[in-house]
């Protein structure tokens, strides 16, 4: 039966036959140089030939080997993402969808995603240099932009293409006028302004804000959104209702408590991130406050676990998958020299209705009284643990 001596059984060898540029050239009776030029849009090959080549390439399923291209051109059709392993990212709300988005988009364009990790900004530099020197990647996506981001500065000085997830920010109140930077970001300003207005519509007049670590540009953007919303709502901006530089749930709880300890406490608090908003749950359960009634809160990120809290966290969700797709597409376009009509692309966040906000059940005064009474009634380790503000 089996007369074919050459092993016809055994593992399938799908890796078998890639078609090379020479084969393609032979089948068209042209030189491989011409094929290459045709495919890369050189001007010294006729339209007819270009069409023939393109057609044949499609038919034979020819895909140039990017390694081979890289060695001559220095470009590898690959983009890089270095994940900052040293950075605090307690609840992983970041990565999966983002990565899926990036890799989906890159692979659609025939590119590749290479990921590395670094443990410090020092380390980042080495990692980047190595990858670039080795021509592993042609550009980088930078997530979580810092106020003076050394990563962006480095890449810019080295003239390595990059796109930012987030925006640049110079000093306390100025967006950097770096017309070269390509950004994609979510409109945090808008989301936080809306959040304020939503609280106002519920009937709140004392609305607090708990901000993220000010090293991140988004911390300033969100804070500005809050300020803007307060102005638009015609509410007084009271510095005593604003806390900054909060990163963890634990500190979020401290911040919440500080706000409730003020003379005229906020009946609604807006948190810069879902994670720090968790602190409000801690405080609420400690001091017997009902979220969504006694105290209203809303946050930002739209993390999945926010919905399993009870009550579910009202938040603004960012579409990480889309962010990844857009960023990778912007980066590849930039590397390929496409001119963008706009260097900055801003997408809206999506409101996620939860159960943590509603009309105030208590006035600011009543809330303060209830809180203080609960503090005293409580064995209140928490209070002692927390100590003085600032």
Partner DNA sequence: CTAAATAACGAAAACGGTTTCGTCAAATGT
Partner DNA sequence: ACATTTGACGAAACCGTTTTCGTTATTTAG
CB of residue 106 vs a second copy: minimum separation in angstroms?
Answer: 8
Q: How many binding residues for a second copy (CB under 8 A)?
A: 58
Write 366-370 long-range contacts (CB < 8 A, 24+): 367/260, 367/265, 367/267, 367/289, 367/294, 367/295, 368/260, 368/262, 368/263, 368/264, 368/265, 370/289, 370/294
Q: Which among 346, 322, 319 is positioned nearest to 105, based on CA atoms?
A: 322
Shortest reach from residue 34's CB to DNA, in Å: 3
The single residue among 27, 39, 136, 321 that binds DNA, judged by CB under 7 A, is 39
Q: Which stretch binds a second copy (CB under 8 A): 85-93, 179-187, 368-376, 377-385?
A: 85-93
Residue listed under structure tokens 């919303």: 229
Helix, strand, coil abundance in the chain, percent, nearest 5: 45, 15, 40
Q: 176-212 as b/e, with b when 16 or more CB fall inside 10 Å?
A: beeeebbbbbbbbbbbbbbbbbbbbebebbbbbbbbb
Among 51, 59, 60, 65, binds DNA (CB under 7 A): 65
Q: Is 23 among the residues that bind a second copy (CB under 8 A)?
A: no
Binding to DNA by residue 263, rule CB under 7 A? Answer: no
CA 170 from centroid of its chain's CA atoms = 19
Is position 288 an interface residue for a second copy (rule: CB under 8 A)? no
Q: What span, in angstroms and rounded, lies between the C-alpha atoms of 192 and 279?
A: 19
Rounded to the nearest 5 degrees, what angle is found at the Cα of 11, between the Cα atoms of 10 and 17?
120
* Contact between 255 and DNA per CB under 7 A: no
Tell me which stretch binds DNA (CB under 7 A): 16-24, 88-96, 301-309, 357-365.
Answer: 16-24
Out of 60, 68, 129, 304, point to the residue binding DNA (CB under 7 A). 68
Q: Does 234 bind a second copy (CB under 8 A)?
A: no
Of the candidate spans 63-71, 170-178, 267-275, 330-338, the one that interacts with DNA by CB under 7 A turns out to be 63-71
**Conformation bin of residue 337: beta by default, left when phi > 0, alpha when psi is -120 to 50:** left
Q: Which residues bind a second copy (CB under 8 A)?
A: 11-15, 18, 63, 65-68, 70-71, 76, 78, 83, 85, 89-96, 99-100, 103-104, 107, 112-117, 127, 129-130, 132-136, 156-160, 249, 278, 281-282, 285, 304-305, 308, 310
Residues within the interface to DNA (CB under 7 A): 18, 20-22, 29-37, 39-40, 44-49, 62-65, 68-69, 71-73
């Amino acid at each position: 039966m089996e007369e074919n001596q050459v092993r016809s059984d055994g593992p399938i060898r799908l890796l078998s036959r890639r078609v090379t540029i020479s084969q393609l050239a032979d089948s068209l009776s042209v030189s491989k140089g011409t094929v290459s030029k045709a495919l890369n849009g050189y001007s010294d090959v006729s339209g007819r030939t270009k069409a023939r080549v393109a057609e044949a390439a499609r038919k034979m399923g020819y895909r140039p080997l990017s390694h081979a291209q890289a060695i001559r051109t220095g470009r590898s059709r690959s983009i890089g993402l270095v994940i900052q392993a040293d950075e605090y990212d307690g609840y992983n709300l970041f990565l999966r969808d983002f990565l899926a988005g990036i890799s989906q988009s890159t692979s659609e364009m025939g590119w590749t995603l290479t990921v590395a990790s670094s443990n410090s900004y020092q380390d980042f530099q080495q990692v980047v240099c190595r990858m670039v020197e080795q021509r592993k990647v042609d550009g980088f996506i930078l997530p979580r932009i810092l106020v003076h981001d050394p990563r962006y500065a480095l890449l810019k000085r080295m003239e390595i293409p990059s796109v930012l997830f987030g925006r640049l920010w110079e000093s306390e109140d100025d967006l950097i006028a770096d017309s070269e930077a390509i950004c994609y970001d979510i409109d945090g300003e808008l989301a936080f302004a809306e959040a304020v207005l939503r609280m106002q519509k519920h009937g709140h007049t004392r609305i607090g804000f708990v901000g993220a670590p000010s090293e991140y540009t988004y911390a300033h953007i969100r804070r500005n959104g809050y300020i803007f919303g307060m102005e638009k709502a015609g509410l007084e901006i009271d510095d005593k209702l604003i806390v900054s530089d909060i990163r963890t749930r634990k500190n979020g709880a401290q911040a919440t408590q500080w706000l409730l300890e003020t003379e005229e406490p906020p009946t609604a608090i807006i948190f810069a991130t879902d994670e720090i908003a968790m602190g409000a749950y801690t405080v609420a359960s400690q001091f017997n406050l009902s979220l969504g009634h006694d105290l209203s809160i809303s946050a930002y990120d739209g993390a999945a676990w926010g919905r399993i809290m009870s009550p579910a966290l009202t938040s603004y969700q960012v579409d990480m998958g889309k962010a990844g797709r857009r960023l990778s597409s912007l980066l590849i376009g930039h590397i390929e020299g496409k001119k963008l009509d706009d260097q900055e692309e801003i997408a809206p966040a999506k409101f996620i209705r939860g159960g943590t906000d509603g009309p105030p059940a208590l006035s600011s005064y009543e809330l303060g009284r209830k809180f203080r009474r609960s503090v005293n009634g409580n064995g209140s380790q928490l209070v002692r643990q927390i100590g003085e503000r600032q």
